[in-house]
Structure 1
Amino acid sequence: MTDKNTSSNQHTVNEDEIDLLALAKTLWMKRKTIIGITSVFVVLGLLVAILSPKEFTATSVFVPQVGESNRGGGSLGGLASLAGINLGGMGGSSEIPPSLYPKIVSSVNFRLAILDAPLSVEGLDKPVTYRHYYDSIHDPGVLSYIKKFTIGLPGLLLKSLRGDSDEVVKDANDQLIRVSKDDFEHFKRLDAQISVTPNDKEGFVSLSFVLPEPIMAAQMARFAQDLLQEQVIAYKISNAQEQLKFTEERFEEKKKEFEEIQSRLANFRDRNQNIASAAVLNQQQRLEAEYNFAFSIYTELAKQLEQARIQVAKDTPVFSVIQPVTVPVEKSAPKRPLILIIFIILGGIVAIGYVFGMEFFKGVKEQWVNV
């Protein structure tokens, strides 16, 4: 029984060795085909690596100081308490966590602002906008034209058949945000160029921008960083600013009323200095009561106004820049050796698959002929 099992195992091993030898023999016999197909892919890889446009990536790293609603509560709170101002009742304003920064960057308003960012292009005397650069100046290269022709041609044909127009009809009340087809194409490019990556563990945010020229990449990265921080600050202090605006309006109204009552009281006293009567004294007391009441409201609003200004300063986020935007020295793409290696591997896989596929179909054909 043992001899039979041993014989069976040896037979299986021999069959496996025969199959491997047959596969190796097939590959060796078709080596010219494999080398030819792989060589074609090598040439394609070289063309792609050479014709691919250069890209430069500018990066900045900053730390948003979130959760600082009590910032300045020590020194500012002490100074405010001397003036009779209580800072305890105006906290609790909302925060934007760094994990939401990518959502801000991908919003329509943010991307529309990016399209109008100024760029200093080499060879031009005046800065141009990002939109104008890609509409009229940028040369996408041979590969981009081929890709646009092969992929975009069906879309253009469908568009011409449907009669689509690039004109955008605005809403009657102009309250909805409408984006033109051209701007939408810019948006798709922006999604691939700009990247915001928050690091929740370390607490920093990395922002990068990719463009064909190093100076332009640095300019856009700096513009995007400033715009992102401005929008975060605007959202963070929106409640405090609304309170400040309301308090300022009320303060100006009561200030005007107080000054009018103050003038009326002064004029009354000047006109009635030598008159001593109950009616005059009565009227003077009424004016003084109005003056005292207006003065108390005016003083209270002045305290609230100062309190609102301090709250705006407290709520304003601070961004500590760890790595400022610098002009990149080396290109980030294309990585030509990697492209060539990928095409060589792909060519080898396609060549081997072609050889085995042809052998498989050849065997199937012989079986059908024998039947």
Structure 2
Amino acid sequence: MEKTELPITKNNEEIDLLELAKTVWLKRRIIFITILLFSILGVLVALVLQNEYTAGSTFVPQTSEQGKVGGNLGGLASLAGINLGGLSGGSEIPPSLYPKIVSSVKFRKDLLNATLNIQGDSQKISYQYYYDSIHRLGLIPLFAKYTIGLPGLFIKNIRGNNVMESPSNDHGLINVSESEFEHFKRLDNQVSIEFNEKEGFVSLSFSMPEPLMAAQMARYAEELLQKEVIEFKIQSAREHLKYTEERFEEKKIEFEGIQKKLAIFRDRNQNLSSAMILNQLEKLEAEYNFAFSIYTELAKQLEQAKLQVSKDTPIFSIIQPVTIPIEKSAPRRPLIVIVFVLLGLVIAFGYIFGREFVLSVKEQWEIKNNSDPES
């Protein structure tokens, strides 16, 4: 039996690089075929994957002056280990929490109802309707769905036939259906938002199979995010405005009633000058003056409350508006082919060296058994 020289020496068990190189050269045919097969597979995968287009915008949220001072002092005080976060005094959402808003259930539910236009079609549809009725899965997702995901799909169909519809929500809670949950998982991969703390700007992007739809969803997500931030910021001022408006309307009705009552009394008692009538007139005029002063003060407070709402409304400076993308963002086909080539190279080397290692262990075991006098 011819003995093959092992790439591991018997003295110090170190790897012999020359033997490894010799082994690779002798098995070059296997390496070449493996890399060729994986290259072809990589090309097929790259061609089958659907194109994705990404649109986005960049904007700067203009916070209140009080918040800016707290932010500047906070940056300096953090060097000394002091936290001035409680001194900012503002009730606004910091940009670092924008990703939490985007990932919230309410925000994603609103995204499902976003209005879209398909390229070359004037009909308007919603995001949810597009993926439920129009969009078709690519070959690879479709293959994975009916192979790896077949058990889950089978269980889902059984549950869908046996489980009754969820009862109506009477407790003010948010219900999420299974269909919406599947859309949520896709949205998590499509929408992206990042806050650059150093520069102070926010970048939001959205990916879709068509460039126009990607731009529409990015703009809708941007407007929806800014609306949520504005609503949170002016919530206190708006509640104060609502309360002031209600009190103003009450006092307005009361003032107009007293004004009308005083006018009627004066019309009926123009030529009378008795002490009792004068006393009643003075009483009505005092009530009128008191109601007028309250009415005037509430009118001033109402205008101040309206100005406060405008003052507290955040302003977003758009640095880069949403534009329709021209080039696709995914898939990166050259990178996919390179990854498959490297994967084929690793598998080929693993097969060759693994096989040599198994043969060497088997040979050493046979030599040991042959040299054993008892065997």
TM over 0.5: yes
Aligned 8 A contact 1:68 1:317 in 2: no
Quote the offset at 1:68 in angstroms. Answer: 4.1
Secondary structure (helix, strand or coil) at the match of 1:150 reads coil
Partner amino acid for 2:280?
Answer: Q
Percent identical among aligned pairs is 61
Give the corresponding residue for 1:185: 182
- 1:20-44 deviation digits (Å, cap 9, x = unpaired): 1111111111111111111111011
Match of 1:86 in 2: none
Taking a change above 3 Å as real, the CA distance of residues 354 and 246 of structure 1, as seen in their structure-2 partners, is same
- Show the counterpart of 1:137: 134
Alpha-carbon displacement from aligned partner over 1:314-364 (angstroms, at most 9, x marks no partner):
000000000000010111111111111111111101110111111111222
Change (3 A) 1:117 1:160: closer
1:314 to 2:334 alignment: no
2:343 is the alignment partner of 1:346: yes
Provide Cα deviations, 1:74-128, integer angstroms capped at 9, x if missing partner. xxxxxxxxxxxxxxxxx95501110000000000000000000011013533111
Which residue does 1:275 correspond to in 2? 272
- Matched position secondary structure for 1:94: coil
The CA distance in 2 between the partners of 1:169 and 1:104, in whole Å, is 26
Q: How does 1:150-299 map onto structure 2 within 5 Å?
A: 150-160=147-157, 168-170=165-167, 172-299=169-296
Following the alignment from structure 2 to structure 1, what is the Cα–Cα distance between the partners of residues 306 and 162?
A: 50
Q: Secondary structure at the match of 1:187?
A: helix
Query: Is the partner of 2:19 in helix, strand or coil?
Result: helix
Give the superposition deviation at 1:311. Answer: 0.3
Asked if 1 retains the 8 angstrom alpha-carbon contact of 2:67 and 2:90, the reply is no
1:335 equivalenced with 2:350 (yes/no): no
Q: Provide structure 1 residue ranges, at least 5 long, that are not aligned to the other structure.
A: 1-11, 72-90
- When the two structures are aligned, how many residues end up with a matched partner? 340
Q: How does 1:34-183 map to 2 (within 5 A)?
A: 34-68=31-65, 93-160=90-157, 168-170=165-167, 172-183=169-180
The amino acid of 2:320's aligned partner reads Q
CA 1:172–1:319 in 2, change beyond 3 Å: closer, same or farther?
A: closer
Change (3 A) 1:258 1:17: closer
Q: Distance in 2 between matches of 1:242 and 1:17?
A: 78
Q: Distance in 2 between matches of 1:163 and 1:53?
A: 30
What is the CA-CA distance between 1:295 and the residue it aligns to?
Answer: 0.7
1:32 to 12, 29, 34: 29
Distance in 1 between residues matched to 2:242 and 2:65, nearest whole Å: 22
The one-letter amino acid of 2:339's match is I
Q: CA deviation at 1:296?
A: 1.0
Q: Is this contact kept in 1: 2:101–2:225, CA < 8 A?
A: yes
Alignment-derived partner of residue 323 in structure 1: 320
Cross-structure match for 1:359: 356
Give the direction of change, closer, same or farther, for the CA distance of 1:15–1:147 in structure 2 (3 Å limit): same
Q: 1:67: how far off?
A: 2.2
Assess, with a 3 A threshold, how the Cα gap between structure 1 residues 360 and 51 changes in structure 2: closer, same or farther.
Answer: same
2:205–2:218 contact (8 Å) kept in structure 1? yes
User: Distance in 2 between the 1:23 and 1:230 partners?
Assistant: 64
TM-score norm. by structure 2 comes to 0.86
CA contact (8 A) 2:169 2:175 kept: no
Q: C-alpha separation between the residues in 2 aligned to 1:99 and 1:39?
A: 47
Deviation at 1:168, TM superposition (A): 4.6
Which amino acid is the alignment partner of residue 117 of structure 1?
A
| Equivalent residues of 1:93, 1:239 under 8 A apart | no
CA RMSD after TM alignment: 2.2
